[in-house]
Amino acid sequence: MAATYSICVLPGDGIGPEVTNCARRVLDALAANSGPRFTFETHPAGHGTFLDGGDAMPEATLAAAKAADAVLLGAMDVAQIPPGGGDPLGGLRTGLEVGASIRPARTIAGVASPADDIDCVVVREVTEGLYSRIEYMVGEDTACAVRVVTRAASTKTARMAFEQATARKKQGRVTAVHKIGVLKLTDGLFLDAAAAVARDYPDIEFETRNVDACAMELVREPARFDVILATNAFGDILSDIAAGLAAGLGLAASGCIGERWAYFEPVHGTAPDIAGKGVANPCATVLSAAMMVRHLGEAASADAVEGAVAAVLAAGAVRTGDLGGNATSTEMTDAIVEALKARQ
């Protein structure tokens, strides 16, 4: 008997509702072909939710996220939410005790990209660092942000990076990113925690890189990277560089994973320019859903979804505008669902 999983869906803003609906169709197709079943419950969060009720991250939504087997998120227009209006992404990441955001970036056959041989994963701490959300004014003309780095969070994230390097069986290398020359205390602690974890993984090579040098090397020699371990802001930037080098944000998936809870989201934002038009590329969300399926222990189904997306992209006949085609989100999803039938 195939298992049933409860999924809490947080569609959010902009193209979020469209792309999560596409991903739900793909997940439903798994069940139709005797794969696992999914029940979906949609809950409010994001800028629209703030406009409706003054809180972008209602308590009830976090409770629903915790009660589900996993969470699938669309996109949130966090820049529009004023201070005090709620923090959906920060709230989820801390509320679900996420250890890292796992962001794979790899070249996809048939999709033109600046790098034809990138296959890395950014493992990014997402609850503290420069994005601690602790900011204050000193007088009227000086604004400060507090970069918080704890040994507990750094250790948790580092462990996830080494686990990724072990599971991926690529070079078996973790590159920890820092700016130790300036951030002596915070990155000193971060690197110290990472080095301590490295001692538990003697088969994985551990190296460190200044973030600026790492950004350049990533562009010049993407193939040498395996797992990049980073604090919050550095990982945010490097994961977008990696996605851009690979197949673009339209195909970049991610999962925020903790010991008990996890949620999955495309790396892209709300794309307000195309929201509501039905032309957004659903692949990043479909691939995030595949990461979710893998996290739930359904590796064969995750492989099938990833294979179906890859097949559609390789065939090239059905593509959304960002990939140079003119297919709608629905047509792209139809093609993925069709390709999935052949793979289960």
Select 89 or 194, whichever has its Cβ closest to ligand IPM.
89
Give the burial string for 115-154 (b: 16+ CB within 10 Å, else e): beebbbbbbbbbbbbbbeeeeeeeeeeeeeeebbbbeebb
Question: Binds 206, which of ligand IPM, Mn ion, none (CB < 5 to 8 A, cut-off by type)?
Answer: none
Query: Does the annotation count 192 as an active-site position?
Result: no
Q: Is 236 in the site for Mn ion (CB under 5 A)?
A: yes
3-state secondary structure of 81: coil
Contact 218, 230 (CB under 8 A): no
Residue length, the chain? 344
Query: Does the annotation count 87 as an active-site position?
Result: no
Question: Binds 89, which of ligand IPM, Mn ion, none (CB < 5 to 8 A, cut-off by type)?
Answer: ligand IPM
Q: Is 125 in the site for Mn ion (CB under 5 A)?
A: no
Select 72 or 335, whichever has its Cβ closest to ligand IPM.
72
| Interface residues toward ligand IPM, by CB under 6 A | 78, 89, 131, 236, 267
In whole angstroms, the minimum distance from the beta carbon of 101 to Mn ion comes to: 9
Task: Check 28, 69, 170, 179 and give the catalytic one.
Answer: 179
Query: Does the annotation count 334 as an active-site position?
Result: no
d(CA 237, CA 240): 5
Query: Does the annotation count 201 as an active-site position?
Result: no
Nearest CA-CA partner of 37 in 66, 12, 64, 7: 7
Q: Torsion over CA of 161, 162, 164 and 170, rounded to 10 degrees?
A: 120
3-state secondary structure of 2: coil
Stretch that binds Mn ion, among 23-31, 57-65, 149-157, 235-243 (CB under 5 A): 235-243
Dihedral class, residue 161 (left if φ above 0, else alpha if ψ from -120 to 50, else beta): alpha
Select 268 or 295, whichever has its Cβ closest to Mn ion.
268
Question: Binds 87, which of Mn ion, ligand IPM, none (CB < 5 to 8 A, cut-off by type)?
Answer: none
In whole angstroms, the minimum distance from the beta carbon of 36 to ligand IPM comes to: 27
Catalytic sites, residue numbers = 131, 179, 212, 236, 240
Binding site for Mn ion (CB under 5 A): 236
